[in-house]
């Protein structure tokens, strides 16, 4: 079984049908959809796989119900189909997520509106997700009485509560593992994925793409990778990447900051709960019962460009806490309970706006005077990554369908790999007298192109979901690498820097050595 082998020099000797620039969920799905079509694929990521926006998501796969509010039926169908796809192919990593919205008869948040929405949902898609068995089946949404809503969410504000809307999305508790499993499948089926290899220049001749030049950041070496087609899937940086490739792309959106906050508190409900602060037009926030703790999101703030940090200012954090406590007045969340802030860039409606762009965007630059074979993609939702990749591949390779044998091989490989590789319970702690827990982590280091300590802690496992535990086990994890003392301390400091938002003990990882 082929591993994710990080060897840029060897990879540069091959010819590719497609180079994908960007190793988040959109880039990973581009590589998967191309590989399923028997394309030879190379994926280049400037840092580590899934380390930016994809890592900082709310971990929810939307089912499309909310798209009925704007009658966007295309997006409604797409989201519903993708929810089913994730549940079918990654049942070990994706699970159903019940979502409750208490109803106070304000605006569209009314029992009558949701009664109609659930009726439309039944009529449009009566069998799509109901015909599967077990935990992958999606029950119909329903409007609950006020007492039923209160039973599911005891912290709901009683005054004015008229009922609740309950439906089912899906969630990816360990989204970093899903990205890695996608990339492992890509490599097993013949693709190549390189992290810490930023693309620096597009290579073209006479109006035709011929590949990219990229730099091996580990060895500071430059390599040319040959391909007739390049997809720029650099996420929030896709606009800047297009400009680096010499193409002005005004249709690609500028960025904003988006964040989700993890609190050191058990969730007040077993389902996700949505509510908006008082006031017209206020956005909804969601309480996500994640990894045994409470994850709350998503907040947005304007940024001029991706050069500005997505991390929150103190004022932005205070505003976020105030709005969330307004939406859920009985929770009284405080700054002292914050374990971590997951912040990243996402496309905004326009420069300087705190409003998220609602649609995925892709551009064939040959339609705008650019070379043949260059496309740029910009996504907004984890949910839509695969469907966007499928659309782009049909445009790029219209004659290449997914052969049945290839699809069956993908399904078989996925079923063989089902399992919780690198996944630990939130409160798990390693036994002091037993080191056998390190053995599967050593295989991950060997097989998944782990370069830095935080690659292993944050993006190959979920050890980093519990910041205090991550800092405690970090020195023992360093034993998995052939590092001298200076490198160990640099890696521990790098991990400490990531957890600067953590409500951790005063001792840092170095002091546990």
Encode pLDDT of 55-101 as tens digits: 988 999 999 888 887 888 899 999 999 999 999 999 999 999 999 99
**272-275 vs 95-103, strand pairing mode:** parallel
DSSP secondary structure code for residue 70 in this structure: G
pLDDT attached to residue 511 = 37
> How high is the pLDDT of residue 127?
62
Distance CA(389)–CA(30), nearest Å, equals: 5
Other beta carbons within 10 Å of 372:
14
The residue-averaged pLDDT of 103-123 equals 90
Whether the per-residue pLDDT at 414 is higher than 70: the answer is: yes
Q: If pLDDT is split at 50, 70 and 90, which confidence band does 141 have? A: very high
Do 88 and 94 contact (CB within 8 A), yes or no?
A: no
Asked whether the predicted pLDDT for residue 2 surpasses 80, the reply is no
Q: Give the residue-averaged pLDDT of 361-379.
A: 93
Percent of the chain with pLDDT over 90: 71
What number of other Cβ atoms are within 10 A of residue 205's Cβ? Answer: 8
For residue 186, give the 3-state DSSP assignment: helix
Torsion angle defined by CA atoms of residues 455, 458, 462 and 465, in that order, rounded to the nearest 10 degrees: 160
**Selection from 497, 499, 489, 455 nearest residue 195 by Cα:** 455
Q: How confident is the model at residue 130 (pLDDT cuts 50, 70, 90)?
A: low
- For residue 25, give both structure tokens: 């969920």
Q: Answer whether residue 219 shows pLDDT above 80.
A: yes
Say yes or no to pLDDT of 39 above 90.
Answer: yes
pLDDT single digits (tens) 425-443: 999 999 888 889 999 999 9
Q: What is residue 66's predicted lDDT score, i.e. its pLDDT? A: 86
Burial of 69 (C-beta count, 10 Å sphere; 0-12/13-18/19+):
exposed
The pLDDT of residue 133 is above 70: no
Mean pLDDT of 500-505: 52
As a whole number, mean pLDDT of residues 162-186 equals: 95
Report how far residue 365's alpha carbon sits from residue 216's, in angstroms, rounded to the nearest whole number: 27
Integer CA distances (angstroms), 250 to 224, 363, 365, 376, in order: 28, 10, 11, 12
Say if residue 162's pLDDT is above 90.
Answer: yes
Minimum mean pLDDT range among 74-88, 263-277, 366-380, 404-418:
404-418
Q: What is the pLDDT of residue 103?
A: 95
pLDDT of residue 506: 41
Residue with tokens 């304007």: 302
CA–CA separation, 236 and 348 (whole Å): 9
Low-confidence winner among 61-70, 374-383, 386-395, 479-488 (lowest mean pLDDT)? 61-70
> What per-residue confidence (pLDDT) applies to 128?
56
Task: Please determine, for residue 495, whether its predicted confidence score (pLDDT) is greater than 80.
Answer: yes
Residue 210 token pair = 């011929």
Cross-strand pairs, 99: 167, 272
Instruction: Report the length, in residues, of the chain.
Output: 513
State the burial class of residue 45 (Cβ atoms within 10 Å of its Cβ: 0-12, 13-18, 19+).
buried
Give me the pLDDT at residue 323, please.
Answer: 95
Structure tokens at 338: 């914050």
Up-side HSE of residue 69: CA atoms within 13 Å toward CB?
Answer: 9
CA triple 75-78-80, angle to 5 deg: 110
CA distance 496 to 182: 28
Q: Token pair 């796969």 is at which residue?
A: 61
The structure tokens 């827990």 sit at 437
Q: How many angstroms separate the CA atoms of 178 and 60, rounded?
A: 13
Task: State the pairing for strand pair 60-61/163-171.
Answer: antiparallel
**Alpha-helical segments (H) within 140-287:** 146-152, 175-188, 238-244
Residues in CB range of 451: below 8 A, 6 or more apart = 6, 48, 195, 196, 218
Tell me the average pLDDT across 281-306.
89
Query: Would residue 281 be called left, alpha or beta, if left means φ above 0 and alpha means ψ between -120 and 50 degrees?
Result: left
Running DSSP on this structure, what letter comes out for residue 206? T
pLDDT over 70 for what percent of the chain?
Answer: 95
More confident residue, 71 or 410: 410
Cβ atoms of 14 and 30 closer than 8 Å: no
Whole-number pLDDT of residue 501? 57
Report pLDDT for 509. 39
State both tokens at 472.
């405690």
pLDDT at 365 over 90: yes
List pLDDT tens digits, range 435-490. 899 999 999 999 999 999 999 999 999 999 998 899 999 999 999 999 999 999 99
pTM: 0.93
């Amino acid at each position: 079984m082929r591993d994710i082998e990080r060897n840029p020099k060897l990879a540069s000797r091959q010819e590719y049908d497609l180079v994908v620039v960007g190793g988040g969920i959109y880039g990973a799905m581009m590589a998967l959809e191309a590989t399923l079509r028997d394309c030879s694929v190379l994926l280049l990521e400037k840092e580590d796989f899934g380390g930016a926006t994809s890592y900082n998501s709310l971990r929810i796969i939307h089912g499309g119900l909310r798209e009925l509010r704007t009658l966007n039926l295309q997006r409604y169908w797409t989201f519903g189909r993708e929810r089913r796809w994730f549940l079918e192919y990654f049942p070990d990593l994706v699970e159903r997520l019940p979502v409750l919205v208490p109803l106070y008869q304000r605006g569209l948040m009314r029992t009558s509106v949701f009664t109609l929405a659930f009726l439309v949902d039944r009529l449009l898609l009566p069998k799509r997700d109901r015909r599967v068995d077990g935990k992958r089946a999606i029950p119909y949404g329903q409007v609950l009485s006020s007492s039923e809503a209160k039973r599911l969410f005891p912290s709901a504000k009683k005054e004015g509560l008229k009922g609740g809307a309950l439906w089912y999305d899906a969630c990816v508790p360990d989204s970093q593992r899903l990205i890695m499993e996608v990339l492992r499948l890509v490599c097993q089926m013949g693709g190549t994925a390189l992290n810490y290899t930023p693309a620096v220049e597009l290579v073209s001749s006479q109006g035709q793409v011929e590949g990219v030049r990229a730099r091996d950041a580990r060895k500071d070496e430059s390599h040319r990778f040959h391909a007739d087609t390049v997809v720029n899937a650099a996420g929030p940086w896709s606009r800047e990447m297009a400009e680096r490739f010499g193409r002005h792309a005004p249709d690609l959106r500028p960025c904003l900051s988006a964040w989700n906050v993890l609190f050191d508190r058990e969730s007040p409900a077993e389902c996700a709960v949505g509510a908006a602060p008082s006031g017209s037009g206020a956005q909804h926030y969601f309480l996500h019962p994640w990894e045994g703790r409470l994850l709350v999101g998503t907040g947005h703030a304007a940024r001029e460009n991706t050069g500005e940090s997505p991390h929150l200012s103190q004022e932005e954090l205070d505003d976020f806490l105030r709005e969330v406590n307004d939406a859920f007045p009985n929770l009284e969340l405080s700054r002292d309970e914050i374990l971590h802030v997951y912040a990243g860039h996402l496309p905004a409606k326009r420069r300087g706006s705190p409003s998220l762009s609602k649609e995925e965007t892709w551009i064939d630059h040959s339609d705008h005077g650019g070379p043949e074979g260059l496309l740029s993609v910009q996504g907004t939702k984890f949910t839509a990554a695969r469907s966007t990749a499928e659309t782009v591949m049909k445009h790029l390779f219209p004659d290449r369908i997914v052969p049945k044998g290839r699809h069956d091989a993908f399904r078989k490989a996925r079923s063989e790999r089902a399992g919780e590789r690198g996944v630990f319970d939130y409160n798990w702690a390693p036994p002091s007298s037993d080191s056998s827990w390190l053995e599967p982590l050593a295989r991950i280091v060997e097989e998944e192109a782990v370069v830095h300590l935080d690659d292993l802690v944050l993006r190959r496992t979920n050890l980093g979901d519990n910041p205090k535990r991550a800092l405690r086990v970090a020195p023992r994890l360093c034993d998995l690498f052939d590092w001298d003392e200076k490198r160990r301390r640099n890696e521990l400091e790098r991990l400490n820097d990531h957890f600067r938002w953590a409500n951790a003990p005063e001792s840092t990882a170095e002091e546990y050595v």
